[in-house]
Amino acid sequence: MKTPLAWKNLVHNKVRTTIGVAGVSFAVILIFMQLGFLGGIIHTATQIYDALEFDLMLRSPAYLHLTEARSFPRSRVFQAASLPEVEHAQPFYLGLSEWQAPAAAKPGPSDDSSLSPESALEAEGDWRAIITMGTDPQDPAFNREDINQEARKLSDATFVLVDVKSKKEYGPANKEKFSEADIGAETTLGPQRVRIVGLFELGTGMASNGACLTNPAGYIRACPWQTIDDVTFGLLKLKDPEEAESVRQKLLDIYGIPSSNEQSGLSLAPVNQSNTNVEILTRQQALDREEHRWVHETPLGQIFTLGVWVALFVGVAIVYQVLSTDIANMMGEYATLKAMGYGAKYLTKVVLMQAVLLAVVGYIPSLIISWGLYRLVEHLSGMPMNMTPGIAALVLVLAIVMCVLSGLAALRKLYQADPADLF
């Protein structure tokens, strides 16, 4: 039976090993958190798209990101609806408006569209930017029945639904989270008075900590700079989603947009073309471009990507110090092994195995601690932090690579072990 020399080396000096495991755990937790934040950005950037029902999306070619989407003529949506391959086409409105937090939530009858003059005095809270969406209550644009069911309550332009994930700064009655107690409360959205008639759960975007939903007329009241004939998105549901690319090409021909005028790749720079007032994207293209925008073209995504590399560098430095100190303290033992006939290949294997063991032992508590931190951050900030199997596996691989690199760097000291030093 072979002696597990790498393991014996670790448990020989428990204090030094504990310090090494703590260092590895610290670096691994840093990696977990950076990847968690990065994943949260990706999820937040596309969560509204994820909830919409469409196979093809029409949007302005000057689109920048979700809350700076610009607009295009609604007639383009009606043109698309004429294709036999299109099962359903509908306009969708989205933009940033201003929300005044209700000072007090006084329930009232949700079927009464009149707003009391006195209610204006009740809404004296702070103003906040809020994502405002507009959809037809008779034909909601979402692929989730819970949201569609609530959206059917939007029978009047003064009615709104509030996202329960909106932050407490938006004025929930319990000072923490919007709930049934807020239904009937009146406040100001944009320049007009509105009444909360229901709630939905979706999640806010990167540009705002709150979201609300109203009908198209209500959206125009909240965002008066946009007209009912200028829509943000055209959502096309196809009879056969597999035909998305062929239908897209037909629409390009109908709209008179040459393929050569299309933007290539994931570039998100707004274009300025006189013969182009609409851009056509498949669902996957829309998701990919939004993700690319926030992860690769904004400082936010780049910071967390850089954070992963910084955490790896910190981990390599810590583990190198542990392994190199361990080798220096046991130089005589390694020299004895060389004198007994063990070659550099075997000794290299011992050091690298010791590094892998450090990675695995340090990874286990890091996984548990990071899961707890994910839940804490999600609770405090509202950013979705999901410990997926993919993230867990990726961090384990990165931890092993980090420790192996440290082991390779520490081998220089091992090769200095000389049997002649024993005499």
Query: Using CA atoms, how far apart are residues 277 and 412, in angstroms rounded to an integer?
Result: 63
Query: Using CA atoms, how far apart are residues 262 and 159, in angstroms rounded to an integer?
Result: 39
Strand 159-163 relative to strand 192-200: parallel, antiparallel, unpaired? parallel
Tokens of 61: 């070619």
132 or 344: which carries more pLDDT confidence? 132
- φ, ψ of residue 62 in degrees (nearest 5): -95, 15
Mean pLDDT, residues 102-108: 56
- What's residue 115's pLDDT? 57
> Cβ(199)–Cβ(162) under 8 Å?
yes
> Cβ(209)–Cβ(167) under 8 Å?
yes
**Percentage helix, strand, coil for the chain under 3-state DSSP, each rounded to 5:** 50, 15, 35
Residue 41 burial by CB count (10 A; 0-12/13-18/19+): exposed, middle or buried?
buried
Tell whether the model's pLDDT for residue 112 goes beyond 60: no
Tell whether the model's pLDDT for residue 239 goes beyond 90: yes
Query: Using CA atoms, how far apart are residues 76 and 135, in angstroms rounded to an integer?
Result: 17
Query: Using CA atoms, how far apart are residues 1 and 3, in angstroms rounded to an integer?
Result: 7
> Cβ(394)–Cβ(311) under 8 Å?
no
Pick from 10-24, 60-74, 131-145, 162-176: least confident = 10-24
> Cβ(159)–Cβ(111) under 8 Å?
no
- What's residue 1's pLDDT? 36
Q: Which residue blocks in 172-298 are alpha helix, DSSP H? A: 216-222, 244-255, 283-296
Reported as a single tens digit per residue, the pLDDT across 147-160 is 999 999 999 999 99
Query: Using CA atoms, how far apart are residues 411 and 419, in angstroms rounded to an integer?
Result: 17
Tokens of 301: 């995504």
Pick from 192-201, 258-267, 285-294: least confident = 258-267
Tell me the average pLDDT of the chain: 83
In which element (H, E) is residue 71 found?
none
Q: Which residue blocks in 185-298 are alpha helix, DSSP H? A: 216-222, 244-255, 283-296
Cβ neighbours for 390, distance < 8 A, ≥ 6 positions apart: none
Tokens of 326: 């361990």
User: Over pLDDT 70: what percentage of the chain?
Assistant: 82
> Cβ(110)–Cβ(195) under 8 Å?
yes
